[in-house]
Chains A and B, each alone.
Chain A
Amino acid sequence: MQAMCPRKDLYEAVQTVGRAVSGRSTLPILSHLLVAPQGNTLKLTATDLEMWMECSLPARIQASLDDTGDGEGFTAPARVFTEMLGALPDMDVQLDRPEGGNTVQVHCGRSDYKILGLPAEEFPAPPDVTPTATFTLPGEVLRDMIRHVLFAVSTDETRVILTGVLLIFEGDSVKMVATDTHRLAVRTATVAAGDGSATAVVPARAMNEVLRLATDEDAVTISLAQGQARFDIGGTTMVTRLIEGTFPNYERVIPTTHDRKLTLETTEFARAVRRAAIVARDNANRVVIETEGAQLVLSAESGTVGSVREEIEVAREGDDIQIAFNAKYLQDVLGVVETEGVVLELTEPLRPGILRPIGDGADDYLCVLMPMQVI
């Protein structure tokens, strides 16, 4: 096999799939990339057995007579290969495997490398994805959805199911849910096209990769299957294992009524929280919010730093209230809401609150926040 392509394209592709390379596996092959010719393209694959990333780029391919099988490629250690491509001059790179062995020759300008690989047939193939549901979303919408829920995913490895995002696809609507048991974010959208129905819990890491890979212009096709999901994003395909288990019944967590409703200007609220957080940081991030007529007072106290008091305007329905939240949780959700205003629906100081955007897409998003309490 001999292949030729611009260094820059190959470097980009290698960096893209490199994200799936296993960082700490004991299996040597998992620290390698698989490079295989496929028609007029080179296909690059990397995996850590949780996630597979594939990316194709146009190349001039010449199969040599020595080649044992069709489409067979070579592997190269991801770190070295990436570093090498990063350092080579911006010219065409020629990949050559004259002996058909595990060594690949890289030729670029006046540089020649011989890189030792491993047998390509040992590289683990991605699992077959037989989708029970497939749907397509505009990149912009998908990214938006992921951003709206990803912050609420749990990082606690002892409750694995919560370290993923619950994806529910049914009819023409798709829903994403995440919770770390202290807060819960739910985002809904209408799909451009799709059929079937399924639920899946996608690891946060895979969601992060989708967020990074997809551009607003891409149309992303998502296929959900038993145990795996596939994301087709432009020329890149990502297959991820799903998290097995039962996601908690999140609907039960969402309060259906409220006695108090605070309407706030999003950026003003976010700024006040940020300022209060500077003090709250030293006291478990606790920020107290309290209504005083048409004002909302945010305050925080810390034995080591001091205290802070912030006032902003509020439109209130229902009685005055005082309730404490984790400043970080408020910041997280206020950081992703894009509407001018938000409402905070409350009942009592120790009951959950809901934050929702107002205006466009008001019904598409909510975030349940649990209060804090000083004991």
Chain B
Amino acid sequence: MFRGLSPRPPLLKERGQGGEALFDLAFPLGYNKPVTETLSQTPGRAVVLLDENTANRIAAGEVIERPSSVVKELVENALDAGATRVEVELREAGKRGIVVRDNGCGMSRDDAVLALQRHATSKIRSADDLFDIRTLGFRGEALPSIASVSDLRIVTKRAEDDAATEIVVRGGDIISVTETGAPDGTTFVVENLFFNTPARLKFLKTTPTELNHAVDLLHRLSLAYHRIAFRLLHDGYEMFTYPGAADPLHAVAAVWGRDTAREMVPLRYESPALSVRGFVSKPSVSKATRTSQAMFVNGRYVRSRTMTHAFDTAFKHLMTTDRHPVCALFLDIAPELVDVNVHPTKIEVRFTRDGDVYSAVHHAVQDALLTGGLVPEVIVQPSLPATNSRAESNGLMPPRSALSSYARTEVELPEALTPLAPSPGAAGEGGVGMSAPFSPSPAGDARPAAWEKGPGDEGNPAPPAGDGRPLLGAGGADTSYIGFDGQRIGRLRVLAQSRNTYIVAETDDALLLIDQHIAHERVLYEQMMNGVTDTAANWGVVAQHLALPQTLHLAPREARVVEERREALARAGFIVEPFGGETFVVRAVPAVVANKDYLGVLRGIIEEMVTASVARRLLVPHEAAVIMASCKMAVKKGDPLTLEEMTRLLTDLAKMKNPFTCPHGRPILLSLPHREMDRKFHRIGPH
């Protein structure tokens, strides 16, 4: 039985604290075993049969596990009642109070009282109906569950009735049923939620987390019910408002921002048994997490592996990195072909014909990508000089990567190339088909590789100018550069790029693998830190003001974060001013990215701030913003680079104060000394 699925181990601790409240113990333990048996294990208490009220509390534990579940159930009821506008008001993210108001069909006095009974529903009549569910609710469990764990007040009126009914319920007991005046529709007021289930109360998440759940919920519902007006107030502030519109794209804009909506293409796929509609973003708009992907089955938000997998595969050859496009995807399928009665919160669904769903979603996305002109230019493998040389020498088509300004060609690096902060995991991934893994030396071992030549080696000192092969594009004007911190400088030749992720290079003494993203991140970080000397007074990021200030239309949640963190953004070089509503004006950008897609970089930072703010409500400190910015601006894993770009990157890296680790402390490069390589190939001695 599905109820056995909900694990609640943390609550077991309650046990030792000794008989505070019976149901606190019954609550966590009572799922797998018969209730009486569980209770009999509690010392010093008589065995009692659970009354109906308690049973409701147990059920409430499943459907109503947090304030946002109340919001969900009540808003879904409003939608089932045919409302065209739904208003939600929360106090402390619902922990102190929840009001849900709709203009739907309302209930008669009798129905309203009956609806508080368990398994009382107007939506299905018999178990057979379970296989043909066309409404959001059907179990008839939500109202009694909510009522049993809160102070509940219902005011409801049907259009045909003259007066409204007001019902007051406390902890599941009906206190009063009276007549009152009210507009058509239904209002639920929930207060003191979980007042009689302290364990539940204790494990409620922080207000911001709960609030995010509620916002997410309304976002999803407005995507699915784009004709309905939604409004969410929190402690008097408007968190989300959507007026309802015939065009679903308006809902997309309200949820994810106008800029994102503009980058969405419609999806459409029809077959006799099912249809897929919705929107998917062009690959240029993508997010680090899946939070901006919403999938619905018959209007119900779901998580479906089948659908996600079909979606991802269709996108796979477009997104080389592990980013996720934005999407709102609606699957409409004959109700008898889908089972939503799998999970108490109805978030999981089971399809009778999984394969059909998979292929419908896959085709819908693929077709959109093709017909919407979304397939980007073929991703060029690390180009041989010949492939691109014409275009580049003419200055016609600048390479499209974040490094496009890179043109110079000599590189010199300190020779102490073993990473200072080795990470064991990184070594195995770096493979270029060699059985000998690149092994970072222990942190302390930063001696230049040349010093390590032992008697077993050929014994001749490293040739000063390499093996006679020309350095890339050898112009040789800039070869007199001396290194940092007394480290000797060696020459470095870029050989290739591996998996569009690692730069393969060699020095006179070793073969190197360099993580392009981390290397670039380090370069940008130090550039942004103004090539800082040790004097803090010198600190500062150089910002370039814009002649054409750029506007940024954000999603409500992003706008809130930007509002809060304008200072931190400014410290990273982005001067952003509010322009009313969710719109901001960007007045200045970090000089380092002035010639790149700086709005894209800024959006990336904002996105990260949004996710970070959910986890911990910390203000991004000064330097963290710079680190974040340099990370967002850096070339990504998966970006193909030309030899010139790679060479230029390494030239810059060589100038850094710390060319060995990224600002987060990950290693930038791994080296395989030639000596080591030769030994692995049994090539010791004069062959």
Q: In the bound complex, do residue B400 and residue A370 qualify as a contact, i.e. CB atoms below 8 Å apart?
A: no
Take A23-B396, A158-B600 as given contacts and tell me if A372 and B391 are in contact as well, using a CB distance cutoff of 8 Å: no
Q: Decide if B398 is an interface residue (CB 8 Å cutoff).
A: yes
Q: Is the CB of B545 within 8 A of A372?
A: yes
Q: Is A256's beta carbon under 8 Å from chain B?
A: no
Q: How far is the CA of A352 from the CA of B547 in the complex (A)?
A: 7
Given A26-B378, A156-B597, is A182 in contact with B545 using a C-beta cutoff of 8 Å? yes
Are A372 and B388 closer than 8 Å at their CB atoms?
A: no
> Is B122 engaged at the interface, CB distance under 8 Å to the other chain?
no
- With a cutoff of 8 Å between Cβ atoms, the chain B residues found around residue A368 in the complex are 547
Residues from chain B with Cβ under 8 Å of A208 in the complex = 395-396
- Map CB proximity to B onto A161-193 as digits: 1 under 8 Å, 0 otherwise: 000000000000000000111111000000000
Q: Is the CB of B548 within 8 A of A375?
A: no
Name which of A24, A181, A182 has the most chain B CB atoms within 10 A of its CB: A181
Establish whether residues B548 and A181, one from each chain, have CB atoms under 8 Å apart when the complex forms.
yes
Task: Determine if B655 is an interface residue (Cβ-Cβ < 8 Å).
Answer: yes
**Cβ-closest chain A residue relative to B541:** A375
Q: Cβ of B527: which chain A residues have Cβ within 8 Å of it?
A: 284
Residues of B41-57 whose CB lies within 8 A of A: none
A137 to B5, CA, bound (A): 80
What is the distance, in angstroms, from B646's C-beta to the closest C-beta of chain A? Answer: 19
Q: Complex: how many Å from CA A104 to CA B631? A: 55
Determine if B287 is an interface residue (Cβ-Cβ < 8 Å): no
Take A158-B600, A374-B530, A375-B540 as given contacts and tell me if A350 and B547 are in contact as well, using a CB distance cutoff of 8 Å.
no
Q: Show 8 residue pairs from A and B whose CB-CB distance is below 8 angstroms, ordered by the A residue.
A: A23-B390, A158-B284, A179-B547, A180-B595, A182-B594, A283-B542, A304-B657, A373-B575
Contact assessment for A370 and B547 in the assembled complex, using a CB-CB cutoff below 8 Å: yes
Q: Contact check, A157 vs B400: say whether CB atoms are below 8 A apart.
A: yes
Residue B570, interface by CB 8 Å: yes
A253 to B387, CA, bound (A): 41
A89 to chain B, nearest CB (A): 25
Task: List A contacts of B598 (CB < 8 A).
Answer: 156
Q: Which residues of A sit under 8 angstroms from B390, Cβ to Cβ?
A: 21, 23
Within the complex, the shortest CB–CB distance from B639 to chain A, in Å, comes to 14
Closest-by-CB residue of B relative to A248 is: B548
- Mask, B510-552, CB within 8 Å of A = 1, is 0000000000000000010011110000101111111110100
Q: A182-B546, A375-B543 are in contact. Are A283 and B531 (CB under 8 A)?
A: yes
Is A19 located at the chain interface by the 8 A CB criterion? yes
Asked whether, in the complex, the Cβ of A303 is within 8 Å of the Cβ of B597, the reply is no
The contact string, 1 if C-beta is below 8 Å from chain A, for chain B 554-581, is 0000000000000000110101000000
Specify the main secondary structure of chain A where it touches its partner.
loop
Q: Which listed residue (A157, A158, A181, A375) contacts B546, Cβ 8 A?
A: A181
Decide yes or no whether B591 CB sits under 8 A from chain A.
Answer: yes
Residue from B388, B543, B600 in contact with A23 in the complex, judged by beta carbons closer than 8 Å:
B388
A288 CA to B592 CA in the complex, in Å? 17
Contacts of A157 in B (CB 8 A): 400, 597
Residues of A contacting B590 in the complex (Cβ-Cβ under 8 angstroms): 284
Closest B residue to A184 using CB positions: B547
Q: Does A130 contact B (CB under 8 A)?
A: no
Beyond the given A205-B397, A250-B548, A303-B531, please list 7 additional residue pairs across the A-B interface where CB-CB is below 8 A: A155-B595, A156-B596, A179-B547, A184-B547, A371-B545, A373-B575, A375-B543
Interchain CA distance A167-B591 in the complex, whole Å: 28
Contact of B573 among A179, A283, A375 (CB under 8 A): A375
Interfacial chain B residues near A375, Cβ < 8 Å:
540-543, 570-571, 573, 575
Taking CB atoms, residues of chain B closer than 8 Å to A179 are 547-548
B588 to A, closest residue via Cβ: A373
Q: Is the CB of B595 within 8 A of A156?
A: yes
Please tell me if B17 contacts chain A, counting CB pairs below 8 Å: no
Q: How far is the CA of A302 from the CA of B596 in the complex (A)?
A: 23
Interface residues in A338-375 (C-beta closer than 8 Å to B): 350, 352, 368, 370-375
- Is B380 interfacial (CB 8 A cutoff)? yes
Q: Which residues of B are interface residues toward A (Cβ below 8 A)?
A: 284, 377-378, 380, 387-388, 390-391, 394-398, 400, 404, 527, 530-533, 538, 540-548, 550, 570-571, 573, 575, 588, 590-592, 594-600, 655, 657
Q: How far is the CA of A26 from the CA of B379 in the complex (A)?
A: 12
Contact partner of B538 (CB less than 8 A), chosen from A19, A182, A303, is: A303
Given the known A-B contacts A208-B395, A375-B573, are A284 and B591 also in contact in the complex, defined by CB atoms under 8 Å?
yes
Choice from A205, A253, A304, A374 contacting B547 with Cβ under 8 Å? A253
9 closest A-B pairs (Cβ-Cβ)? A303-B531, A284-B591, A374-B540, A284-B542, A23-B391, A370-B545, A158-B597, A304-B531, A303-B533
Contacts of B391 in A (CB 8 A): 23-24
A374 pairs with B542, CB closer than 8 A:
yes
Residues of A92-106 whose CB lies within 8 A of B: none
B259 CB, nearest partner CB in chain A, Å? 12
Instruction: Report the minimum CB–CB distance from A219 to chain B (whole Å).
Output: 26
A5 to chain B, nearest CB (A): 25
Instruction: For the complex formed, measure the closest distance between the CB of B305 and the CB atoms of chain A, giving whole angstroms.
Output: 34
In the complex, which residues 278-316 of chain A have their Cβ closer than 8 Å to any Cβ of chain B?
282-286, 301-305
Interchain CA distance A244-B508 in the complex, whole Å: 51
Q: Which residue of B lies closest to A157 (CB)?
A: B400
Cα A157 to Cα B398 in complex, Å, equals 9
Report Cα–Cα, A303/B534, bound state, in Å: 9
- How far apart sit A201 and B540, CA to CA, in the bound complex (Å)? 38
How far in angstroms is the closest Cβ of chain A from B587? 9
B residues in contact with A223, CB < 8 Å? none
Cα–Cα distance between A285 and B598 once the two chains are bound (Å): 17
Q: Which of B532, B545, B592 contacts A373 (CB 8 A)?
A: B545
- Whole-angstrom distance between the alpha carbons of A375 and B529 in the complex? 10
* Distance A205 CA – B395 CA, assembled complex (angstroms): 8
Q: Are A303 and B530 interface neighbours, CB within 8 A?
A: yes
A156 to B575, CA, bound (A): 20
Contact partners of B592 in chain A: CB under 8 A? 284
A303 contacts B532, CB within 8 Å? yes
Q: Which residues in A have their C-beta under 8 angstroms from that of B531?
A: 282-283, 302-305
CB distance from A244 to the nearest CB of B (A): 14
Contact B588 A183 (CB under 8 A): no
Question: Nearest Cβ distance between residue B376 and chain A, in whole angstroms?
Answer: 11
Does A56 sit at the interface, judged by CB under 8 A? no
B380 touches A24 (CB 8 A): yes
- B542 interface neighbour in A183, A184, A253, A373, Cβ under 8 Å: A373
Contact A283 B396 (CB under 8 A): no
Q: Return chain B residues, CB-CB under 8 Å to A263.
A: none
**A181 to B597, alpha carbons, bound, how many Å?**
12
The CA of A183 and the CA of B546, in the complex, are separated in Å by 8
CA distance A371 to B387 in the complex (A): 39
Q: How far is the CB of B156 from chain A (nearest CB, A)?
A: 52
Which residues on A sit within 8 Å (CB–CB) of B533? Answer: 303
Which residues of chain A from 255 to 278 have any CB-CB distance to chain B below 8 Å in the complex? none
A157-B400, A375-B571 known; A283+B530 contact, CB < 8 A = yes
Provide the bound-state CA to CA distance between A184 and B532, in Å. 31
Query: Is B591 in contact with A326, judged by CB distance below 8 angstroms?
Result: yes
List, in ascending order, chain B residues with CB within 8 A of A181's CB: 546-548, 550
A182/B396 contact (C-beta < 8 A), A26-B378, A303-B538 known:
no
Chain B nearest Cβ from A102, distance in angstroms: 24
